[in-house]
Amino acid sequence: MKIVTWNCNGGLRNKLHVVDLLNADLVVVQECEDPAQSTTAYREWAGDYMWYGKNKNKGIGIFPRNGNHVRPLEWSGIYTLKGLGSRDRPVFWQTEDLELFLPFRLNDRFTLLACWTKGSDSKAFGYIGQLWKYLQIHKCDLSEPNTILLGDLNSNSIWDKEDRWWNHSNVVEELCDLGLQSVYHNSRNEPQGREIEHTFYLHRNRAKAYHIDYAFVSESLLSGCTLTIGDPDSWLSVSDHMPLQLTLSLDA
């Protein structure tokens, strides 16, 4: 089975032909418009899709292909963080406040969490901080077997800050504690922050390349997974992100 995650950089309705070239069984797309509010051709192509976003032009789309099927998971919860001092008021957040996460089941066999972390309205807990908050609520959900977390995290350990405990490296450690490993880093034996291949080119500039898109899978799936990253020669004309192609052995 081939699962693709790709930030399309908007206007997916005009890029359907390049998605089809990937011949994926499931396509997870960040920064795409809602098919229900777009063109007829896009709606027909989307099929039995899922979509979530707070802006009709920029959300996460889940598009099953080749007879595969998906269904949403209604994950919701609240996490409370006690104040450091006795007089400090506790801080809490809930699933619906965090951007953007879409959990679902694939073929009633795999649990997936599609991610596109956003800055939100929080300067401190933007991007990877949003995922850190999400993990505090949904650790039990994500620790189940046959789980995959993938998408555009807008993050890399090169941007860690010493006075924060929700850095990229902290999130990777927490995912590891849940039994989730990065397929790219495991297969290439590269440490976080020292990636040779890049997934994002700022302003489509090859001199400003970063690794910010990921696929984490349960350890039980890891040996049966391979991951390839799209070639910028082929993809920079349509997006600033490269597609990640996760091939999953169904015997795993």
Mean pLDDT by 10 residues, the chain (252 residues): 98 97 97 97 97 96 97 96 71 93 98 94 86 97 96 98 93 97 97 98 98 97 96 98 95 62
Q: What is the CA radius of gyration of the chain?
A: 18
The backbone region for 51, taken as left when phi is positive above 0, alpha when psi lies in -120 to 50, beta otherwise, is beta
> Residue 121: its pLDDT value, please?
72
Distance CA 220, CA 23 (A): 25
What share of the chain in percent tops pLDDT 70? 97
> Residue 199: its pLDDT value, please?
98
> Residue 87: its pLDDT value, please?
67
> Residue 175: its pLDDT value, please?
98
User: CA distances (Å), 80 to each of 89, 91, 95, 219, in order?
Assistant: 10, 6, 12, 29
Distance CA 110, CA 42 (A): 26
For residue 70, give both structure tokens: 């998906």
> Residue 251: its pLDDT value, please?
72
> Residue 97: its pLDDT value, please?
93
The model carries a pTM of 0.96
Smallest CA-to-CA distance from 222 within 185, 167, 172, 171 is with 185
Beta strand extents in the chain (DSSP E only)? 2-7, 26-32, 50-55, 58-64, 70-72, 78-81, 91-94, 101-106, 110-116, 147-152, 180-182, 200-201, 209-210, 213-218, 225-229, 244-248
Task: Answer yes or no: are the C-beta atoms of 107 and 138 closer than 8 Å.
Answer: no
* Domain annotation for the chain: domains and CATH numbers: 2-248 (3.60.10.10)
For residue 74, give both structure tokens: 């209604």
- Per residue in 36-88, pLDDT (tens digit) is 999 999 999 999 999 999 999 999 999 999 999 999 999 999 998 877 666 66
> Residue 89: its pLDDT value, please?
76
Task: Answer yes or no: are the C-beta atoms of 236 and 203 closer than 8 Å.
Answer: no
Distance CA 43, CA 236 (A): 25
> Residue 81: its pLDDT value, please?
80
Which residues have C-beta within 8 Å of that of residue 249, sequence separation ≥ 6? 221, 224, 225
For residue 171, give both structure tokens: 């999130």
